[in-house]
Structure 1
């Protein structure tokens, strides 16, 4: 039951070698040119800054490299155009996300957003997109506003679903340390790319913030937990994806992978590598009555990449000791209204129960255990009227839905969202908070409402609302979200219509 409910709820540097070349130079046609470690790229100048799209950070993971750790990207001669995004990674069709099936596996590309003039010492924000580890792409998120606030923002594609998170005894026999975590290793390769190349775009490789929402937050949690990610980042932002959701064990993952392989008639890794992408994707489509949003393919613990789940690693202090910003939205589970036959508005009892059980209270538990060792700032996004980022009917009331804060931080060219004046003011405040946190590890700054560090019981949780940013006592948050109940149960409420 808990796994089914979570599937529905989640759908969604150290010493570094940097380039000594100038930050940028003008190309003949006026496009900005930057020299990366593999060759020069020509981006696009916009009213807000510079954008470089579709930069390869690893070799295409195709053919014999399917389900292998990412390999270095090849160098190129001349100037590579960087005006267009790289293709999205292979994934199933999702009406909820507004995308048809994608079979492309040549997808390990990233986009860089930078101010028009960059000093070489700006904070770097690396964004990992959400989508249940099975859907989405980094190119969906236009980070020009966030970059214009004084950041270099890097948005990353990584292998998804069966291609990013398959564990199988045949793959484990090749290298047991890698099975089940190819998507996380892709992200680590992207972070190494940032360490090498950030300065060329005006960023400081010694001040990198990893951030993400939903499964992207689960990705951030994975790096906080992974010894292989140590030193590649210095701050962490986790939006609507509590660390406790990163808990799939290798035996469970291998069992699921074996069943999937049998579905396509394979028993070996060699056979699986020979299967067309569409066949593998079709094998992961849920049966009628099951949710199309699946966490059956997700980061795998019990491996050198992810030795322990957060529930064991956090109390033992086995995680990256970096400042953290953690938060959720008030009506996380209202997106169920678009993917099941649940009736009622965002304030219905079932939406409140699932939001509290899967998001609000687990996020608080994360903050509570972490705040003894690292600075933690916690928020709840409560603004209820942000247009949906999903392909949902416009008349559907979602409240402060799962992902509602995203249009205040990013633009969505494929689904333009118009904020009202009060929301635009809130967006400016939030971009200020996120930028100050990336710069200093503390979201507070001149002109911003005070945001106290989190402390259990007596501390404050920042309330982000267009009518005014305030804060509420942790004790009130605990009571409002029924955490006395959900901190002491393994179950989640039954969701009608989800199989």
Structure 2
């Protein structure tokens, strides 16, 4: 059940642009031009700043490079247009993405957002999208507002599902089996280290941030020895670290089962199958939730030696400032994905939210706070328009992903915030920006946000009626953590049994 819970990350994925990767051309005739380590790129100027789309950060992982560590991108001559998004990574259709199956494997591209004038050493925020490690795209998130607050924001793609997280006895764990998607993210972070300065960013001040599976990815980098030095702060939104725990034997058993299902005895046979065949074999069965998780980061490997439950108490993780948070009604979208109306006030939504998010996030904060600065939040605003293709009359409360429209825009699904929510959005962008700059979300004009401490500490309550904080002891009681901290049982998600 715990492995399935991470699959709710699909709920944060909304429709993304499906556009071809741009071709190289000889010279730029308009738009801002930046020289990267592989060649020059031409972006576009907007009212809020500059945007560079579809920049390759690794070679296409196709053919013999499928299920291999990401390789270096090729250099180019002249000026490469960076005006269109790269195409999303291969994935099955889902009720959240609103699209058919995508079979594209040439997808390791990123987008860069900067202020209009980005000549200084600005903090860099690398955004890792959610989607159950099986859905979504970095192109979904338009980060112009966040960049205009004084940040360089990089939104990335990474291999998903069977392409990003397959483990099999025929694929060496030493080369990344079970964690190819995490290795893609590491390649993107290395690209940032090499190129941040060209876009006005500080390669020595990089914040990794993500929501749901993106948060699970951030947790993976916090735990991974091979990610050390590639980032300096971490933001984990609605994806507790303690739920990233798939073991290599379990992952290899899943991979072996897949191979048998499609008539393959070897990994090379799998490599010869089409993307559509692999996606069809891993699509949710009829009546099964799209949030069922079969592929995810894999522990007991060189990339992820230990799960958080073992690594955190031992102090074996990146010692960087952290921001950790959840929403009040996370599980309303879990039930929605299963075809069940997720009433935010129902007992099952409360139980699933507390068991899978609120209490595990608190446990993460509690074990980390004595070694690194930790700030914890709970997003409680219940009236944010849905980022999902749901009936407008459907009430989801402070649903899984409800904070995202306050930080990002979604061009293919515009969301109108009311004036109070716009003020909350400005406050949150201020918090995220200050944290990226200093490792502490507090700053001029922002409501005070105390660092987290168990029992006596505070959890910041993000609500459009006013940002306040609550004592940790009350949070513990309100979320019945006395129950969930002392049981291995979690409520089942309908459709995943």
Q: 2:470 aligns with which of 455, 469, 472?
A: 472
Distance 1:217 1:389 in 2: 18
Whether the 8 Å CA contact 2:129–2:137 is kept in 1: the answer is: yes
Match of 1:360 in 2: 358
Whether the 8 Å CA contact 1:213–1:239 is kept in 2: the answer is: yes
Q: 2:183 aligns with which of 185, 194, 212?
A: 185
Match of 1:147 in 2: 147
Distance 2:174 2:223 in 1: 18
Distance 1:82 1:497 in 2: 42
- Mapped pair 1:169 → 2:161: no
What secondary structure is seen at the aligned counterpart in 1 of 2:430? helix
Summarize deviations over 1:266-290 as a string: whole Å, max 9, x none.
Answer: 1111111110000000000122232
Q: 1:313 aligns with which of 311, 314, 318?
A: 311
Taking the TM superposition and a 5 Å limit, the aligned residue runs for 1:33-432 are: 33-172=33-172, 175-343=173-341, 345-432=343-430
Summarize deviations over 1:206-248 as a string: whole Å, max 9, x none.
Answer: 0000000000000000000000000000000000000011100
Alpha-carbon shift at residue 393 of structure 1 (Å):
1.8
- Pair 1:162–1:475, CA change in 2 (3 A): same
Match of 1:439 in 2: 437
- Pair 1:76–1:495, CA change in 2 (3 A): closer
* Number of matched pairs: 483
Whether the 8 Å CA contact 1:338–1:392 is kept in 2: the answer is: no
Whether the 8 Å CA contact 1:134–1:294 is kept in 2: the answer is: no
Distance 1:341 1:116 in 2: 44
What secondary structure is seen at the aligned counterpart in 2 of 1:210? strand
Summarize deviations over 1:328-353 as a string: whole Å, max 9, x none.
Answer: 00000001342224346211100000
Whether the 8 Å CA contact 1:236–1:325 is kept in 2: the answer is: yes
Distance 1:33 1:289 in 2: 50
What secondary structure is seen at the aligned counterpart in 1 of 2:376? strand
Whether the 8 Å CA contact 1:211–1:217 is kept in 2: the answer is: yes
Whether the 8 Å CA contact 2:68–2:175 is kept in 1: the answer is: no
Alpha-carbon shift at residue 6 of structure 1 (Å):
5.1
Summarize deviations over 1:150-208 as a string: whole Å, max 9, x none.
Answer: 00000000000000000000112xx5451100000000000000000000000000000
Distance 1:8 1:240 in 2: 10
Which structure 2 residue ranges, 5 or more long, are not aligned? Answer: 13-26
Alpha-carbon shift at residue 7 of structure 1 (Å):
3.8
Whether the 8 Å CA contact 1:385–1:400 is kept in 2: the answer is: yes
Summarize deviations over 1:441-488 as a string: whole Å, max 9, x none.
Answer: 000000000000000000000000000000000000000000000000
Which structure 1 residue ranges, 5 or more long, are not aligned? Answer: 13-26
Q: Once superposed, which parts of structure 1, at least 4 consecutive aligned residues long, lie more than 3 Å away? A: 1-12, 27-30, 341-344, 494-499
Whether the 8 Å CA contact 1:261–1:267 is kept in 2: the answer is: yes
What secondary structure is seen at the aligned counterpart in 1 of 2:390? coil
Distance 2:341 2:109 in 1: 40
Alpha-carbon shift at residue 11 of structure 1 (Å):
4.2
Q: Which moved more, 1:388-397 or 1:375-384?
A: 388-397
Distance 2:340 2:2 in 1: 17
Whether the 8 Å CA contact 1:9–1:336 is kept in 2: the answer is: no
Whether the 8 Å CA contact 1:110–1:155 is kept in 2: the answer is: yes
